[in-house]
Structure 1
Amino acid sequence: MTITRQDELDGLKEIGRVVANTMQAMAQAMEPGMTTAELDEIGAAILEREGAVSAPQFTYDFPGATCISVNEEIAHGIPGTRVIAAGDLVNIDVSASKDGYFADTGATFRVPPVRPALDRLCRDGWRAMQIGIAQVRNGRPLAGIGAAIGKFAQARNYTLIRNLASHGTGRALHEYPAEIATWPNRRDRRRIDRGLVLTVEPFLSTGGLWATDGTDGWTLYSEPRAPVVQYEHTVVATDRGAIVVTLPG
Structure 2
Amino acid sequence: MIIVKTAEEIELMRESALIVSKTLGMLAGEVKPGVTTLQLDTLAETFIRDHGAIPGFLGLYDFPNTLCMSPNAQVVHGIPNNTPLVEGDIISIDCGALKNDFYGDHAYTFEVGEVAPEVKKLLDITKQSLYIGIREFKLGNRVGDVGYAIQKFTEDHGYGVVRELVGHGLGRKMHEDPEMPNYGKRGRGKKFVEGMVVAIEPMTNLGTHRIKQLKDGWTILTADNKPSAHFEHDVALVNGKPELLSTFKYIYDALGIVSNEEDEFRQ
TM-score (norm 1): 0.94
Superposed, 1:48-127 pairs within 5 Å as 48-127=49-128
SS at match of 1:103: strand
CA contact (8 A) 2:167 2:198 kept: yes
Separation in structure 2 between the aligned mates of residue 234 and residue 224 of structure 1, nearest angstrom = 30
- Find the aligned partners of 1:50 and 1:139 in 2 and give their Cα distance: 37
8 Å CA contact 1:209–1:224 kept in 2: the answer is no
Give the Cα–Cα distance (whole angstroms) in 1 for the partners of residues 173 and 243 of structure 2: 19
For residue 191 of structure 1, report the CA deviation from its aligned partner: 0.6
Please state how far the C-alpha of 1:139 moved relative to its aligned partner.
Answer: 2.1
Mean CA deviation greater in 58-67 or 71-80: 58-67
Residue 243 of structure 2: aligned partner: 243
Which residue of structure 1 aligns with residue 223 of structure 2? 223
How far off is 1:93 after superposition?
Answer: 0.4
For 1:200 and 1:190, how far apart are their aligned partners in 2? 15
CA distance in 2, matches of 1:141, 1:115: 37
- Residue type of the alignment partner of 1:71: N
Cα distance in 1 between the residues matched to 2:163 and 2:9? 32
| Corresponding position: 1:19 with 2:20 | yes
Give the equivalent residue in structure 1 for 2:196.
196
Deviations 1:4-28 (A, max 9, x none): 2x32121011011100000121121
Shift of 1:185: 4.2
Partner of 2:5: 3
- Give the drift of 1:138: 1.8
Query: Is 1:158 matched with 2:182?
Result: no
Deviates more, 1:61-70 or 1:183-192: 183-192
Specify the code of the residue in structure 2 equivalent to 1:164.
L
Shift of 1:186: 6.2
Corresponding position of 2:143 = 142
Q: SS at the partner of 2:217?
A: coil
Q: Which runs of 5+ in 2 are unaligned?
A: 251-267
SS in 1 for 2:29: helix
Cα offset for 1:190? 1.2
CA contact (8 A) 2:171 2:197 kept: yes
Q: How many correspondences in the alignment?
A: 247
1:199, 1:232 → 2: CA distance?
Answer: 7
Q: Name the SS of the counterpart of 1:57 in structure 2.
A: coil
Q: Residue by residue, what CA displacement relative to the aligned partner does 1:195-231 show, whole Å, maximum 9, x if unpaired?
A: 1111110111221313321011111111233211010
Partner amino acid, structure 2, of 1:51: G
133-142 or 186-195: which moved more?
186-195
- Note the 1:173-184 alignment, pairs <5 A: 173-177=174-178, 179-184=179-184
| CA-CA distance at 1:187 after TM superposition | 8.9
| Whole-angstrom CA distance in 2 between matches of 1:208 and 1:22 | 31
Identity %: 29
**Distance (whole Å) between structure 2 residues aligned to residue 235 and residue 186 of structure 1:** 20
2:62 is equivalent to residue 44 of structure 1 = no
* Residues 90-135 of structure 1 deviation map (CA, whole Å, 9 limit, x = unaligned): 0000111101011110011101211111111111111010100000
Q: What code does the residue aligned with 1:149 have? A: I
Which amino acid in the other structure matches residue 225 of structure 1? N
How far off is 1:57 after superposition? 1.5
Conservation of the 8 A alpha-carbon contact between 1:208 and 1:228: no
Shift of 1:188: 4.0
Cα distance, 1:187–1:135 mapped onto 2, change above 3 Å? closer
Gaps of 5+ in 1: none
Which residue number in structure 2 is paired with residue 31 of structure 1? 32
Give distance in 1, aligned partners of 2:23 and 2:237. 24
Q: Is the 2:126–2:154 Cα contact (8 Å) retained in structure 1?
A: no
Q: How far off its partner does 1:176 sit?
A: 1.2
1:152-202 CA-partner distances (Å, limit 9, x unpaired): 11221122011110101111100111x321112469431111111111101
